[in-house]
């Protein structure tokens, strides 16, 4: 069995960066979600035992776009952004393969420019906005826990577009420092990423700027989903893909593409135990504003915007 897990940097300190998954108590959305616990087999590792998270996700996406259409958008996005982002390595992990009794590969988005896959979504969004030069001149607001902010900074710089980033006061200090280092206005607001998102949306509405959501945006989802194109190109026979989930945009893009090229691929969402809003939302079938505690996986922590396009409906 072939497994790919997305690998991202943990920004707190260098010791943690060097230990894959150190301290991350990952909750597989599959494993314990009652709706999904229907395909158990003892032959695969415990964490990869059940059916797909993305089957549920796709159920909802079909309401607005067919799965095919989002998959197509991912494909188009890849052509659009290819020259602006790096193709990241897919690295075989002997340790995880031994532990998981499977052939496990890590998709090293940690090596992407700006340090995360978020650059893909940011570039795709900006490049699709190229046809609206007046809008771009007025500028953009966004909200982020750090990675999407850094990505927007790089993409806006390349496209010469003014940007303001909103972050929660709980933002990881290293990520805040990295963003401010680029001389972009970074405004702290509230104690959860959704507080920052609301403020960024409001500011955009008041100033005629455009708000770019880190996950609640189809072009951002499609751009981030291009990770799926590279996984498929490098390992077309992959069986399981594990994706970190915050607002659900990343897994939505990846799942739409992979399910289009091979419906048998199982895409599994993972969230930290301390902050599992999407996990709880999958269980009840609507966005459940669950409390988030501090977690090493700050990029996936926090609440989700109501009515998000990345929402999972069961
Ligand atoms: C490293 C990392 N992984 C996963 C995610 C989750 O992405 P999404 O909010 O699209 O689910 C984020 C979001 O910031 C992130 O920074």
Average pLDDT over residues 149-157: 96
If 0-12 CB within 10 Å is exposed, 13-18 middle and 19+ buried, where does residue 95 land? exposed
pLDDT of residue 280: 83
Beta-sheet pairing, 185-188 with 210-212: unpaired
Task: Identify the DSSP state of 44.
Answer: S
What DSSP character marks residue 261?
A: H
Residues whose CB falls within 8 Å of the CB of residue 56, separated by 6 or more in sequence, listed in order: 35, 36, 282, 312, 313, 314
Report for 41-45, 220-224, 251-255, 264-268: range of highest mean pLDDT: 220-224
Q: Is the CB of 250 under 6 A from ligand 1?
A: yes
For ligand 1, atom 6, the nearest C-alpha belongs to: 246
Judge whether residue 268 has pLDDT over 90: no
Query: Where do runs of H (alpha helix) occur along the chain?
Result: 14-17, 29-32, 53-64, 67-81, 94-100, 118-128, 133-138, 147-159, 173-181, 193-207, 218-224, 226-234, 249-261, 277-284
The residues facing 185 across adjacent strands are: 164
CA 215 to ligand 1 center in whole angstroms: 8
The C-alpha atoms of residue 311 and residue 196 are separated, in whole angstroms, by: 19
CA within 13 Å, CB half, 159? 29
Distance 146 CA to ligand 1 centre (A): 10
CA distances from 143 to 44, 187, 243 (A): 39, 9, 21
Instruction: Give Cα 309 distance to the centre of its chain.
Output: 13
Query: Given this model, what pLDDT does residue 166 score?
Result: 98
> What is the average per-residue pLDDT within 131-159?
94
Gap between the Cα atoms of 180 and 289, Å rounded? 30
* Rounded Cα distance, 196 and 176, in Å: 14
The closest-lying atom of ligand 1 relative to the alpha carbon of residue 250 is 10
Picking from 117, 168, 113, 162, the residue whose alpha carbon sits closest to that of residue 136 is 162
Per domain, the residue ranges of the chain are 2-115+218-300, 118-212
What is this structure's pTM?
0.86
- Picking from 59-73, 117-131, 185-199, 273-287, which range would have the lowest pLDDT averaged per residue? 59-73
Relative to the CA of 278, which ligand 1 atom is closest?
Answer: 11
CATH number corresponding to 118-212 = 3.40.50.1100
pLDDT > 50? residue 38 = no
Smallest CA separation from ligand 1 atom 13, residue = 299
Atom of ligand 1 at shortest distance to CA of 148? 14
Ligand 1 center–CA 246 separation, angstroms:
5
Q: Among 135-139, 149-153, 214-218, 310-314, which is the least confidently predicted range?
A: 310-314
Residue 21 reports pLDDT greater than 60: no
Q: How far away, in angstroms, is 243 Cα from ligand 1 center?
A: 9
Cα Rg for the chain, rounded, in angstroms?
Answer: 18
Q: Which CATH architecture has domain 2-115+218-300?
A: 3-Layer(aba) Sandwich (3.40)
Can you give the pLDDT at residue 11?
47
Q: What average pLDDT does this structure show over 117-146?
A: 94
**Beta-bridge partners for 142:** 165, 212
pLDDT number for residue 82: 96
The answer to whether 258 and 232 are in contact (CB under 8 A) is: yes
**pLDDT(285) > 80:** no
| pLDDT (mean) for 192-210 | 97
Structural contact between residues 153 and 178, judged by C-beta atoms closer than 8 angstroms: no
Does ligand 1 lie within 6 Å of residue 248's CB atom?
A: yes
Q: Which atom of ligand 1 is nearest to the CA of 249?
A: 10
How remote is the C-alpha of 160 from its chain's centroid? 25
For ligand 1, whether the C-beta of 295 sits within 6 Å is: no
Q: Which of 159-168, 170-179, 189-198, 224-233 has the lowest mean pLDDT?
A: 170-179
Q: Which residues, listed in sequence order, are joined to residue 269 by a DSSP beta bridge?
A: 243
228-232 own/partner pairs: CB under 8 Å, 24+ apart: 228/74, 228/253, 228/254, 228/255, 228/256, 228/257, 228/258, 229/74, 229/75, 229/78, 229/257, 230/87, 230/88, 230/90, 230/107, 231/4, 231/90, 231/107, 231/258, 232/257, 232/258, 232/261, 232/262
Q: Do domains 2-115+218-300 and 118-212 have the same CATH topology?
A: yes
Query: Is the distance from the beta carbon of residue 242 to the nearest atom of ligand 1 less than 6 Å?
Result: no
């Amino acid at each position: 069995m072939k497994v790919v897990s997305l690998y991202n940097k943990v920004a707190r300190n260098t010791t943690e960066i060097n230990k894959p998954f150190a301290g991350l108590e990952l909750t597989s959305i599959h494993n314990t979600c009652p709706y999904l616990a229907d395909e158990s087999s003892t032959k695969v590792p415990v964490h990869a035992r059940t059916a797909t998270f993305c089957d549920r996700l796709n159920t909802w996406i079909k309401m607005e776009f067919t799965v095919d259409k989002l998959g197509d958008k991912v494909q188009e996005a890849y052509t659009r952004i290819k020259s602006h982002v790096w193709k990241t390595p897919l690295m075989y992990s002997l340790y995880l393969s031994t532990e998981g009794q499977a052939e496990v590969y890590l998709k090293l988005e940690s090596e992407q420019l700006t340090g995360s896959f978020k650059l893909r979504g940011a570039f795709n969004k900006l490049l699709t906005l190229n046809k609206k030069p007046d809008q771009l001149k007025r500028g953009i607001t966004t909200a982020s826990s750090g990675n999407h902010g850094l990505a927007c900074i790089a993409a806006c710089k390349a496209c010469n577009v003014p940007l303001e980033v909103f972050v929660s006061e709980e933002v990881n200090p290293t990520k805040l420092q990295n963003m401010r280092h680029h001389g972009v206005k970074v405004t702290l607001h509230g104690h959860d990423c959704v507080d920052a998102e609301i403020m960024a949306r409001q500011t955009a509405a008041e100033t005629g700027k455009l708000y770019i959501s880190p996950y609640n945006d189809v072009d951002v989802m499609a751009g981030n989903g291009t990770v799926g194109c590279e996984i498929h190109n490098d390992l077309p026979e992959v069986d399981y893909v594990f994706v970190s989930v915050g607002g659900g945009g990343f897994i939505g893009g990846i799942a739409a593409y992979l399910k289009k090229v091979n419906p048998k691929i199982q895409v599994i969402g993972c969230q930290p135990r301390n902050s599992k809003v999407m996990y709880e939302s999958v269980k009840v079938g609507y966005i459940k504003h669950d409390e988030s505690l501090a977690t090493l996986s700050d990029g996936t922590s926090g609440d989700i915007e109501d009515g998000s396009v990345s929402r999972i409906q069961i």
